[in-house]
Chains A and B, each alone.
Chain A
């Protein structure tokens, strides 16, 4: 029956070499009962990973638990020797991480990696046939089709979902009683994520284990959690059963988090009348690689015959999973890449084949906001230098550019005093605002947002989405909004295009796509969206 597998009480972790005695996490209480999934939710910096690492005994150097207890089936883990912890990890505690590719050894086959684990954790040597049998059984347990073949595959030959299943197979191989999953589906596509979540839920039921599931996504929480622990800045702000926390959040922070989850479609999704087109794309084609001299070499079609128009003030969402060609499409349209064929008519000029020199004056009308705010600002330039660059390139004096940039910073909700600061002083959300201001500086007609909110915490994401909507209505900006997340697209976009392996499989007004998806792939995307049942 459901005794507690893991009991964390009053856990406090401190930075050891910190004169201020800064606490990373304070007074954490988490209990994981047998046969239940406990989700620890929080934004970046909330201490959820530190909590998980404390349980595993894998805290990075400089972090030390100073108070509280961590009990695994009654055994105290704080102060346990590192030998004992190593024994427990694997045999009693299984772990899965965010990025399955880096967690697997690239030069060993799946079988070798699992067999190694069996050998490490047992005294006597096992005959090869027996090891093979156990490995195969473990893989089949993960509902992997043709597990026998997969045993001899190397990690790079597997898809992301398969790799994560192999990781789970490794974690479950020695039949642990506690599984710690640190954002295990964050790096996966939605449809794959759905499968992994179903698998974990199924494992809990079959093996009667406890799961400590770390995530930032309330959608995922809604799908799998039995218990929820909400963390903010190193403390637990709320905990309880999933039903209670999700339906009646007691704390304002929990409420804010739940409200920030993109719900899919705006309540007031008014139909927009069509406006004059600022961008017209016809038969756009992009291939990577080329036939070698003797016809060898592989050619990959990244975008096939894409066609769409974008009206003034319209937000067009491009939704697809990784490898669907949506980013290539964005890079072609913004001419960071020369398309192999087709037309891109920007305000009446075809820029698809234009040379860099003829292209330059047109560049100001189309600007890009990138995914990773940490890499989109030159670390060696001050914010002001980065911001005025575009304005100066298009013929303004530096003084005029600075004045213009100051008003833009106000527009995106940043202090205008920051021009002399450097990017490393700002948080991810603040940097993304700076990037948006930079993109707006040259007075573009079209803004391309390439996964511009994917790397941000939900509350920040909600703010940036609001900012985009606000900019559209104030400036009449047209936007091409690239995302892997249908829910985000639904919140913001007037029309949505769904891409799959380089093709636009479906497009139409957001309300139509959400109300009545036609293409089976779109339907699959919808049914895979986490938290669908609870939030809609």
Chain B
């Protein structure tokens, strides 16, 4: 043997636990995760945490200030604000999560196909351009008007305009990754297309996709709130932060808390998700983080 034996470097453990450790040491991510976990717990245990039946109308107790029974006061129909806030977190979190999942899966699949199959690329991307030309709120109003306002319709209506955005991003990343030498090496080793995509392409596009998903989730929560505020969101009997704010509009001067509390909840949730996304972006792509910081 003429070539000298190369001694391998000392092993560094690569595993799920080191990754989790890295996650938790990042303050931005920790904050975002903390907010989300707290909210998720509230949503899951809503039926334990509520104090007064959120749907119970008590006209006698209209617009009451905070008290021992109604912790955050009552609204114009005498419903308990605290309990409605607790239940409202369910809608927001479900909408955020479901929209992000739909958009990432549908947009990811379309982007992957467009990036991998050249002849479909043009057709698919022009269709995406067409979809992007429709204003999101108008599309949502039309869909909800046609199909009726419920959680499923709302999620679909919000998810559809996000799909082309995700598809475009995934396509561009796929186009870069498929030119990488390791993909060509796999091709020359006779790897079949499905295996190629699953083993070599998908894992290498996941990072930007996860980050994108967090931004979609936070914007979905905001859009759901605005739809509810416009009166085309969740029906009034299901409490959501959006329709709570819509109801409170007329009584803002009497009881600012009516609008303030759901507003704070929305802001906090969106902030948490955005921080999580930012932290993940910095961690998964340190190069990007530095350029955003402005200083090398």
Most buried by A among B12, B14, B181, B187: B181
Cβ-closest chain B residue relative to A423: B182
In the complex, what distance in Å separates the CA atom of A437 from the CA atom of B218? 47
B188, A336: Cβ atoms under 8 Å? yes
Stretch at the interface among A149-157, A181-189, A298-306, A358-366: A358-366
A390, B190: Cβ atoms under 8 Å? yes
Q: Is B194 an interface residue (CB 8 A)?
A: no
In the complex, what distance in Å separates the CA atom of A441 from the CA atom of B186? 12
CB contact list, A378-402 vs B, under 8 A: 378-381, 386, 389-390, 393-394
CB contact list, B203-219 vs A, under 8 A: 203-204
CB contact list, A320-374 vs B, under 8 A: 334-336, 360-361, 363-364, 366-368, 370-372
In the complex, what distance in Å separates the CA atom of A371 from the CA atom of B5? 22
The distance from the CB of B143 to the nearest CB of chain A, in whole angstroms, is 38
A-B contact count (CB 8 A): 104
Q: Is B48 an interface residue (CB 8 A)?
A: no
Cβ-closest chain A residue relative to B14: A422
Cβ-closest chain B residue relative to A414: B6
Cβ-closest chain A residue relative to B295: A61
Which residue of B5, B185, B204 contacts A415 across the interface (Cβ within 8 Å)? B5
Which residue of A368, A379, A414, A426 contacts B185 across the interface (Cβ within 8 Å)? A368
- Complex contacts, A360 vs chain B, CB 8 Å: 190, 192
A336, B191: Cβ atoms under 8 Å? no
Which residue of B3, B185, B200 contacts A467 across the interface (Cβ within 8 Å)? B3
Contact with A along B191-202 (1 / 0, CB 8 A): 110000001100
Q: Is A429 an interface residue (CB 8 A)?
A: yes
Q: Is B189 an interface residue (CB 8 A)?
A: yes
| Known contacts A375-B182, A412-B3, A413-B4, A389 near B11 by CB under 8 Å | no
CB contact list, A34-66 vs B, under 8 A: 60-61
A394, B7: Cβ atoms under 8 Å? no
A336, B6: Cβ atoms under 8 Å? no
Q: Is B8 an interface residue (CB 8 A)?
A: yes
B203, A380: Cβ atoms under 8 Å? yes
In the complex, what distance in Å separates the CA atom of A435 from the CA atom of B199? 17
- Complex contacts, A429 vs chain B, CB 8 Å: 6
In the complex, what distance in Å separates the CA atom of A377 from the CA atom of B200? 10
Q: Is A438 an interface residue (CB 8 A)?
A: yes
Q: Is B253 an interface residue (CB 8 A)?
A: no
In the complex, what distance in Å separates the CA atom of A284 from the CA atom of B6? 40
Which residue of A389, A412, A414 contacts B186 across the interface (Cβ within 8 Å)? A389
In the complex, what distance in Å separates the CA atom of A368 from the CA atom of B3? 20
| Known contacts A61-B296, A466-B2, A414 near B190 by CB under 8 Å | no
A389, B189: Cβ atoms under 8 Å? yes
Q: Is B20 an interface residue (CB 8 A)?
A: no
In the complex, what distance in Å separates the CA atom of A189 from the CA atom of B186? 30
A390, B180: Cβ atoms under 8 Å? no
B185, A435: Cβ atoms under 8 Å? yes
In the complex, what distance in Å separates the CA atom of A421 from the CA atom of B203? 17
Q: Is B1 an interface residue (CB 8 A)?
A: yes
A415, B188: Cβ atoms under 8 Å? no
CB contact list, B274-296 vs A, under 8 A: 295-296
In the complex, what distance in Å separates the CA atom of A370 from the CA atom of B181? 7
A-B contact pairs, 14 of them (CB 8 A): A335-B188, A370-B185, A372-B181, A375-B182, A378-B200, A386-B182, A393-B190, A393-B191, A412-B3, A415-B7, A426-B9, A430-B6, A470-B1, A470-B2
- Using a CB–CB distance below 8 Å, which chain A residues touch chain B? 60-61, 334-336, 360-361, 363-364, 366-368, 370-372, 375-381, 386, 389-390, 393-394, 412-415, 417-418, 421-422, 425-427, 429-430, 433, 435, 438-439, 441-442, 463, 466-467, 470
- In the complex, the 6 A-B pairs of residues with the closest C-beta atoms, listed nearest first: A390-B189, A376-B181, A380-B203, A370-B181, A413-B3, A363-B190
